[in-house]
Amino acid sequence: MSSAASANQRPRPGRPRLTPPLLAGPPREQVLEAAARLFTSKGYAATSTREIAEAVGIRQASLYYHFTGKGEIVTELLSRTIRPTMDSVARIESLTEDPETALYLVALSDVRTLASAPHNIGWLYLAPDVAQVEGFDEFTAARDALAATYARLASRIATVDALGSIGPARLGEKLVHTVEEVIGLRNAGHRINMDDAAWIASSCLRLCGVDNARVELAVRDAEEFLDEIDGGRP
């Protein structure tokens, strides 16, 4: 084969960036980071895919290599506010047989996930325009599954007074709402530290009717498992 024929068969280089990389990480992660910043500062509807691409330093057409559009981007960002907690449940339950410690650790993992999410993306699930995007029902199904997990764990420790007439399912939803206070705190400019996270997770036990002495015991017991669950994320 001639050298000219070989040259003709060489793959063409990919379409170059508009600018050098503006953000760190793989291109897909750069798109998510840029979108999170724009969605939370401008709003979902007011942000275009062109703006996201420009914030990354790529052409708009290149963005569609990674995502079909804004809807897929925002649902992926929202899913990341739930997925780490759901992924940690089995691990938590393998580490401790104490139901109070397990519930505390799940709530703590949930709080820390919301607290560390880029640009407080969690608040977008309440935005009417986001609720209309294709794929949003997948996020709501994941959130419902998280509430069901809380309900299952809470049913093992909740007192009769705590359950009252609402039952485990409603209690599970109340626990999710308790954890989601993180979103409002972040919107108010409050940085969630470990003490805040522990207080919110402890509140979940108290909503189940667990007395203070047992709450404190669960918190102490949970400390030995933190590094094994998520590497001691700050």
Verify that 21 and 135 share a domain, yes or no. Answer: no
Q: Is residue 7 part of a domain?
A: no
Can you tell me the distance from the alpha carbon of 149 to that of 214, in angstroms, rounded to the nearest whole number?
21
**24 and 133 inside one domain:** no
- Domain of 31? 15-67
Residue 10 covered by a domain: no
Encoded tokens for 95: 């580490």
pLDDT digit string, tens, across residues 149-160: 999 999 999 999
Predicted pLDDT at 136: 94
pTM of the predicted structure, to 2 decimals = 0.85
132 and 58 share a domain?
no
- In this structure, the answer to whether residues 185 and 158 fall within a common structural domain is yes
- pLDDT at 118 (0 to 100): 81
Residue 99 sits in the same domain as residue 139: yes
Residue 73 within a domain: no
- Residue 24 has a pLDDT of 62
| Shared domain check, 104 and 84 | yes
Q: Do 104 and 159 have their domain in common?
A: yes
- Domain end, chosen from 26, 43, 67, is at 67
Is residue 74 one of the residues assigned to a domain?
A: no
CATH of the domain at 38: 1.10.10.60
Burial class (CB in 10 A: 0-12, 13-18, 19+), 137: exposed
Residues 35/74, Cβ–Cβ less than 8 Å: yes
Same domain (yes/no): 52, 120: no
> How many domains would you assign to the chain?
2
Per-residue pLDDT of the chain (234 residues; tens, 9 = 90+): 444 444 444 333 344 444 445 556 788 999 999 999 999 999 999 999 999 999 999 999 999 999 999 999 999 999 999 999 999 999 999 999 999 999 999 999 999 999 988 899 999 988 899 999 989 999 999 999 999 999 999 999 999 999 988 999 999 999 999 999 999 999 999 999 999 999 999 999 999 999 999 999 999 999 989 887 765 444
Same domain, 109 and 151: yes
pLDDT value of position 226? 85
Among the three residues 67, 100, 129, which one is the final residue of a domain in this structure?
67
In whole angstroms, what is the distance from residue 168 CA to residue 148 CA? 9
90 and 62 within one domain: no
Distance CA 17, CA 11 (A): 18
- Give the CATH number of the domain where residue 134 resides: 1.10.357
Pair 43, 101 in one domain: no
The answer as to whether 31 is a domain residue is yes
Whether 164 and 202 share a structural domain? yes
